[in-house]
Amino acid sequence: MDTLVRYFPTVDYPTCWQAMRDFTDRRDDNRTDELWVLEHPPVFTLGQAGKPEHVLNAGNIPVVQSDRGGQVTYHGPGQTVIYLMLDIRRLGLGSRGLVNAIEAGIIDFLASQGIQARNRDDAPGVYVDGAKIASLGLRIRRGASYHGLAINRDMDLAPWQRINPCGHVGQPMTTLQAQGVHLSRDDMEHQLVALLAKRLGLTPRTAPPPGWYNGDTDTSLPATVTDTP
Sheet holding 203-207, edge to edge: 126-128, 131-141, 144-152, 79-87, 33-39, 2-10, 203-207, 226-227
In a domain, 11, yes or no: yes
In a domain, 63, yes or no: yes
In a domain, 150, yes or no: yes
In a domain, 181, yes or no: yes
Q: What are phi and psi of 76, to 5 degrees?
A: -175, 180
The CA-based dihedral angle spanning residues 196, 95, 50, 58, taken in that order and rounded to the nearest 10 degrees: 10
What are the residue ranges of helices labelled H in the chain?
13-26, 88-91, 95-112, 185-200
Residue type, 226: T
Contacts of residue 208, defined as CB under 8 A and 6 or more positions apart, other chains included, come to 6, 223, 224
How many other β-carbons are positioned within 10 Å of the β-carbon of residue 62?
13
| CATH (domain of 32) | 3.30.930.10
Do 126 and 110 touch, CB atoms closer than 8 A? Answer: yes
CB-count exposure of residue 211 (10 Å: 0-12, 13-18, 19+) = middle
In a domain, 208, yes or no: yes
Distance CA 208, CA 2 (A): 15
Our count of domains for the chain comes to: 1
Residue-level pLDDT at 228 = 34
> Catalytic residues, which ones?
166
Detail the residues annotated as belonging to a binding site for substrate. 68-75, 135-137, 148-150
Strands (E) in 107-188, as ranges, are 126-128, 131-141, 144-152
In a domain, 229, yes or no: no
Which domain, by its residues, includes 7? 2-222
In a domain, 228, yes or no: no
Q: What is the pLDDT along the chain (229 residues), one digit of tens a residue?
A: 899 999 999 999 999 999 999 999 999 999 999 999 999 999 999 999 899 999 999 999 999 999 999 999 999 999 999 999 999 999 999 999 999 999 999 999 999 999 999 999 888 999 999 999 999 999 999 899 999 999 999 999 999 999 999 999 999 999 999 999 999 999 999 999 999 999 999 999 999 998 888 765 444 433 333 333 3
In a domain, 12, yes or no: yes
Maximal CA-CA distance, the chain: 46
